[in-house]
């Protein structure tokens, strides 16, 4: 009886070993699956020294370095259907900007055909001492036009641009990661009284892969290009202290320029209605003529900000502009 038990135990033990070996061999035959690998999108603008777009470049013309390490990249042209545009337009609606708002109210019809496109979605917000959503994301050009026409000035000097950028980025973060996230700001170049700080706002925009395109104006120069009825009265009949405060503001960080540089956007400016129309046109032309590069980052110990360098060695005379980096997930 004992000999029979020993035989049975030997068979069971042998079976267990064979099963374990089969599991190991089976695992070795399966491909290794890597999860949570981020895809980095890098829209790139390539122009000559006169600002004219350079067309016809191929993937082999580009080199991307991620913290100095060359990456294997893919190229999709931005006029393909692969990356629809998600756009937020943030408009400063301070009463001091009334002369500009008279122009901005008239350009809503340009946004969908020139920037967001047929497959894109556009939202419209306005900011003074608070941030208000005038239109959530839509592809309806009529709704966008109506939203622009409704924006009116309320508060004389407040213009919380950083708070508006913070809200815009959070809105864009809800859009598909495969979309190109764009923020168009129509405002002064410097913030007026935001609670949000510059550095955290820039990091938030970079983490959400939002490209910021400010089109800015001067509240002192623009009124000279407006009709008298479009110019607001200055508070206190031309408040001397407020004027000095504005002069002090001019010495502070150019918020618009900082965001354009930090996100790969472009800082434009305007004074007249024609200038505003040209700024919107230039932004749209650039967005839809960019080369859309992407890559899966190679292994790295850097869990913070990755510096990107984009070059076109085949065109040493070219001016190349792209996002300066990205944050590891």
What's the confidence (pLDDT) of residue 144?
Answer: 98
- Mean pLDDT score across all residues of the chain: 83
225-231 contacts at long range (C-beta below 8 A, 24 or more positions apart)? 225/99, 225/271, 225/272, 225/273, 226/99, 226/100, 226/102, 226/103, 227/102, 230/98, 230/99, 230/102, 231/98, 231/99
Domain annotation covers residue 14: yes
Domain annotation covers residue 183: yes
What's the confidence (pLDDT) of residue 51?
Answer: 87
What are the backbone angles phi and psi of residue 228, rounded to the nearest 5°?
-55, -40
Same-domain status, 237 and 177:
yes
Same-domain status, 71 and 156:
no
Same-domain status, 151 and 198:
yes
What's the confidence (pLDDT) of residue 77?
Answer: 56
Same-domain status, 89 and 73:
no
Domain annotation covers residue 311: yes
Same-domain status, 203 and 310:
no
Same-domain status, 73 and 97:
no
Same-domain status, 255 and 120:
yes
Domain annotation covers residue 273: no
CB neighbour class for 200 (10 Å; exposed up to 12, middle 13-18, buried from 19): exposed
Same-domain status, 1 and 48:
no
Same-domain status, 69 and 103:
no
Domain count, the chain: 3
Please tell me the distance from the alpha carbon of residue 22 to that of residue 129, in angstroms, as a whole number: 68
Same-domain status, 29 and 53:
no
Domain annotation covers residue 100: yes
pLDDT at 169 over 50: yes
What pTM, to 2 d.p., does this model score?
0.80
Q: Which domain holds residue 300?
A: 40-79+289-327
From residue 67, how far is each of 36, 157, 210, 304, 309 by CA, in Å?
A: 20, 42, 20, 11, 8
The residue among 52 and 31 whose pLDDT is bigger is: 52
* Residues 176, 112, 163: CA angle, nearest 5 degrees: 60
* Section 229-247 average pLDDT: 44
Same-domain status, 74 and 95:
no
What's the confidence (pLDDT) of residue 219?
Answer: 82
What's the confidence (pLDDT) of residue 312?
Answer: 97
pLDDT tens digits for 190-230? Answer: 999 999 999 999 999 999 999 999 999 998 765 545 455 55
What percent of the chain stands above pLDDT 70? 77
Greatest mean pLDDT among 13-17, 178-182, 204-208, 224-228: 204-208
Domain annotation covers residue 284: no
pLDDT tens digits for 297-329? Answer: 999 999 999 999 999 999 999 999 999 999 987
Same-domain status, 247 and 230:
yes
What's the confidence (pLDDT) of residue 76?
Answer: 81
CB neighbour class for 121 (10 Å; exposed up to 12, middle 13-18, buried from 19): buried
What's the confidence (pLDDT) of residue 228?
Answer: 54
Domain annotation covers residue 268: no
| CATH code where residue 203 lies | 3.40.50.410
Domain annotation covers residue 269: no
Can you tell me whether residue 134 is helix, strand or coil?
Answer: strand
Question: Closest Cα to residue 104, out of 215, 224, 229, 256?
Answer: 215
Residue 155: pLDDT band (50, 70, 90) is confident
Question: Closest Cα to residue 325, out of 149, 182, 205?
Answer: 205
């Amino acid at each position: 009886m004992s000999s029979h038990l020993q035989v049975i135990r030997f068979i069971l033990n042998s079976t267990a070993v064979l099963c374990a070996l089969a599991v190991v061999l089976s695992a070795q035959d399966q491909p290794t699956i890597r999860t949570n690998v981020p895809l980095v999108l890098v829209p790139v603008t390539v122009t000559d020294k006169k600002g004219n777009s350079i067309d016809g470049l191929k993937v082999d013309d580009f080199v991307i370095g991620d913290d100095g390490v060359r990456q294997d990249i893919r190229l999709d042209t931005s006029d393909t259907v692969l990356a629809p545009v998600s756009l937020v337009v943030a408009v400063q609606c301070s009463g001091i900007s009334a002369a500009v708002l008279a122009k901005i109210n008239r350009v809503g019809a340009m946004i969908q055909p020139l920037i967001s496109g047929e497959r894109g979605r556009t939202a419209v917000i306005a900011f003074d001492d608070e941030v208000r959503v005038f239109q959530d994301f839509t592809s309806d050009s009529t709704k966008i036009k109506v939203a622009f026409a409704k924006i009116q000035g309320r508060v004389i000097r407040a213009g919380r641009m950083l708070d508006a950028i913070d809200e815009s980025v959070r809105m864009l973060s809800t859009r598909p990661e495969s979309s190109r996230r764009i923020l168009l700001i129509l405002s002064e170049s410097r913030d007026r009284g935001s609670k949000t700080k510059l550095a955290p706002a820039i990091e938030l925009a970079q983490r959400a892969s939002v490209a910021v395109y400010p089109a800015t104006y001067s509240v002192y120069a623009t009124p000279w290009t407006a009709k008298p009825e479009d110019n607001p009265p200055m508070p206190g009949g031309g408040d001397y202290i407020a004027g000095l405060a504005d002069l002090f503001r001019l010495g502070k960080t150019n918020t618009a320029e900082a965001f354009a540089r930090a996100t790969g956007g472009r800082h434009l400016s305007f004074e007249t209605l024609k200038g505003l129309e040209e700024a919107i046109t230039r932004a749209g032309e650039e967005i839809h003529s960019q080369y859309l590069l992407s890559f899966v980052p190679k292994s790295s110990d850097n869990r913070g900000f990755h510096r990107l360098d984009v070059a076109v060695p085949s065109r040493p005379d070219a001016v190349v502009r792209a996002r300066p980096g990205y944050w590891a997930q």
